[in-house]
């Protein structure tokens, strides 16, 4: 094992991992220390995260390091965005955080807009409208007169909360704070006017720290419980997408990325948030990044649709391994039917194959029947949507990209990488797969002076991990099918 190293916890919507990292002679070595499932738990009508189990897994990681004789010099946590828990006056967590796919936010966005126009919310925050943004979750809780709100004293997002469990210190981290849609980049802090308009107490929202800030060390009760030293704890880019973008091995300062996992996030890095009518109309977001940058990007539903389809088949007693599904897709007829992956029908857990069938019926296409055809429909539609959003990113940022960097676990799906290259008609550079965890590590090294800044980090990542190049193929067929994709989905050409 790597004996002296730093530790990155990266929590995804379906699994989490702890990665050890070591930096020597401008080369990064990583080693997976611990991997664990992150299964949401449905209780009655509500869908929750199992937050204490996640904390338990963080501790298991620390124990594994101890048993392997690894000296952990610092650690950081990143996770998915928007979700949160409340701390009561006694310092304890109140309730179990909701999952952003819970239905308690259904309709909340529209109801909020009846009170506060979307122009104002976007103008203040620069954040895209997703029905599960913290702002809409909080609004839904408020309208439901949720008992939690009477006891709440502090609002902490998932990584803030886990970091609090580890250290006893409450701090909000910048990149993740921006995803609440309550942070105002022009003010450089929580938008207290917006909070007041929504009737949310500003006192819930504490100090914000930038990625790369040391926020305490493991608390006494924990080091005694585990029999380990007090490891320094850093706020990294605690939004996993923020960490993933930090790890994009770009050489050119003008670059486009696709962070590919449960979600597909496509965009570019900008110096200043892009907040104007067009950005709002296209529903682009400006999420906080590392070193004062912003991530101008858009969410695409991503491999969630495939994962959830596979789970539905599994429930029906038909289990397929991913490689098998991808192989079946490769053998199915091309361009038979398209979905818009971002249709609301695909947001919630449930009968995904049924949703795809109904979408096709609604849009007068023959629904795919066989598993291979269903998977092909999902992957081709994703690739087409990537082209669509990449073109919008170019338009909004006034740049033209000569290829697309793909990072994240989704790049293991080589068919998707190839089809993405085909759809955009430009090369795809795939790697690294552990984008978020590596971004988490490099921000700790920058904080410790081991790397000078994000651009040195990117070049070190480039030299440390393989990047697979996918050259576009069959451009004419893909370009022709793109027209059919736009018509089938009702999306406007750019």
* Residues labelled catalytic: 240
18 within 8 A of 40, measured Cβ to Cβ: no
Q: Is 240 in the site for ligand LFR (CB under 6 A)?
A: yes
Q: Is 10 in the site for ligand LFR (CB under 6 A)?
A: no
Among 263, 386, 401, 482, binds ligand LFR (CB under 6 A): 263
Q: Is 160 in the site for ligand LFR (CB under 6 A)?
A: no
Q: Quote the least distance from Cβ 479 to ligand LFR, whole Å.
A: 29
Instruction: Select 371 or 409, whichever has its Cβ closest to ligand LFR.
Output: 409
Q: Quote the least distance from Cβ 285 to ligand LFR, whole Å.
A: 8
Q: Is 384 in the site for ligand LFR (CB under 6 A)?
A: no
Q: What is the enclosing helix (H) or strand (E) of 422? A: helix 414-424
Handedness of CA 433, 310, 108, 489 (dihedral sign): positive
Instruction: Select 80 or 429, whichever has its Cβ closest to ligand LFR.
Output: 80
Among 9, 84, 98, 100, binds ligand LFR (CB under 6 A): 100
Q: Quote the least distance from Cβ 97 to ligand LFR, whole Å.
A: 12
CA distance 232 to 244: 22
Q: What's the token pair of residue 259?
A: 């962070």
433 within 8 A of 408, measured Cβ to Cβ: yes
Distance of CA 480 to the CA centre of its chain: 31
Q: Is 190 in the site for ligand LFR (CB under 6 A)?
A: no
Among 105, 178, 241, 286, binds ligand LFR (CB under 6 A): 241
Closest CA to 76 of 290, 277, 276: 290
Stretch that binds ligand LFR, among 104-112, 139-147, 261-269, 454-462 (CB under 6 A): 261-269
Window 50-89: contact mask with ligand LFR (x via CB under 6 A) = ------------------------------xxx-------
Residues 232-244: b if buried by 16+ CB within 10 A, e if exposed: bbbbbbbbbbbbb
Instruction: Select 86 or 100, whichever has its Cβ closest to ligand LFR.
Output: 100
Residues 158-194: b if buried by 16+ CB within 10 A, e if exposed: bbbbbbbbbbebbbbbbbbbbbbbbbbbeeebbbeeb
Using CB under 6 A, count the residues that bind ligand LFR: 13
Among 134, 175, 262, 293, binds ligand LFR (CB under 6 A): 262
Q: Is 305 in the site for ligand LFR (CB under 6 A)?
A: no
Window 325-364: contact mask with ligand LFR (x via CB under 6 A) = ----------------------------------------
CA distance 127 to 179: 7
Position of tokens 């309730």?
A: 95
Q: Is 489 in the site for ligand LFR (CB under 6 A)?
A: no
Residues 6+ apart with CB under 8 A from 77: 8, 9, 10, 11, 58, 159, 162, 163, 236, 238, 440
Instruction: Select 134 or 422, whichever has its Cβ closest to ligand LFR.
Output: 134
CA distance 175 to 239: 6
Closest CA to 347 of 257, 263, 244: 263
Q: Is 434 in the site for ligand LFR (CB under 6 A)?
A: no
Among 299, 309, 440, 444, binds ligand LFR (CB under 6 A): 299
Q: How far apart are the first and last CA of the chain?
A: 51
Q: Is 265 in the site for ligand LFR (CB under 6 A)?
A: yes
Instruction: Select 161 or 265, whichever has its Cβ closest to ligand LFR.
Output: 265
CA distance 134 to 157: 9
Name the residues that contact ligand LFR, by CB under 6 A. Answer: 13, 80-82, 100, 239-241, 261-263, 265, 299
């Amino acid at each position: 094992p790597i004996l002296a190293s730093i530790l990155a916890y990266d929590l995804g919507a379906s699994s989490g991992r702890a990665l050890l990292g070591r930096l020597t002679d401008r080369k990064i070595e990583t080693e997976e220390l611990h991997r664990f499932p992150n299964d949401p738990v449905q209780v009655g009508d509500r869908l929750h995260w199992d937050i204490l189990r996640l904390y338990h897994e963080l501790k298991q990681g620390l124990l594994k390091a101890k048993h392997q004789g690894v000296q952990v010099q610092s650690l950081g946590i990143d996770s998915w965005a928007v979700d949160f828990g409340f701390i009561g006056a006694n310092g304890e967590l109140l309730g179990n955080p909701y999952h952003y796919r819970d239905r308690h936010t259904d309709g909340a966005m529209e109801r909020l807009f009846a009170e506060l126009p979307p122009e104002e919310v976007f103008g203040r925050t620069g954040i895209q409208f997703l029905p599960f943004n913290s702002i809409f979750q909080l609004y839904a809780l408020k309208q439901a007169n949720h008992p939690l709100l009477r006891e709440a004293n502090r609002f902490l997002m998932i990584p803030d909360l886990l970091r609090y469990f580890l250290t006893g210190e409450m701090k909000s981290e910048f990149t993740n704070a921006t995803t609440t849609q309550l942070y105002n980049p022009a003010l450089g802090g929580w938008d207290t006017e917006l909070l007041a308009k929504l009737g949310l107490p500003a006192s819930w929202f504490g100090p914000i720290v930038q990625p790369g800030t040391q926020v305490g060390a493991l608390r006494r009760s924990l080091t005694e419980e585990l029999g380990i030293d007090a490891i320094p704890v850093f706020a990294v880019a605690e939004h996993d997408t923020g960490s993933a973008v930090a790890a994009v091995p770009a050489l050119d300062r003008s670059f486009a990325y696709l962070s590919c996992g449960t979600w597909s996030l496509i965009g570019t890095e900008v110096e200043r948030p892009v907040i104007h009518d067009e950005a709002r109309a296209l529903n682009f977001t400006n999420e906080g990044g590392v070193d004062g940058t912003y991530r101008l990007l858009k969410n695409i539903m991503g491999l969630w649709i495939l994962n959830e389809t596979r789970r539905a088949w599994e429930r029906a007693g038909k289990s397929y391994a991913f490689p098998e599904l991808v192989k079946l897709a490769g053998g199915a007829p091309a361009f038979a039917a398209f979905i818009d992956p971002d249709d609301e029908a695909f947001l919630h857990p449930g009968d995904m194959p049924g949703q795809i069938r109904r979408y096709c019926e609604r849009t007068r296409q023959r629904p795919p029947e066989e598993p291979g055809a269903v998977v092909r429909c999902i992957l081709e539609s994703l690739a087409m949507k990537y082209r669509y959003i990449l073109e919008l990113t170019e338009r909004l940022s006034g740049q033209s990209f000569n290829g697309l960097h793909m990072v994240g676990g989704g790049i293991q799906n080589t068919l998707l990488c190839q089809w993405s290259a085909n759809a955009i008609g430009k090369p795809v550079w795939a790697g690294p797969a552990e984008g978020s965890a590596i971004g988490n590590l490099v921000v700790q090294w920058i904080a410790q002076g081991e790397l000078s800044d994000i651009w040195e980090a990117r070049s070190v990542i480039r030299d440390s991990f393989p990047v697979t190049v996918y050259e576009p193929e069959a451009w004419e067929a893909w370009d022709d099918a793109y027209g059919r994709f736009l018509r089938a989905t009702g999306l406007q050409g750019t």
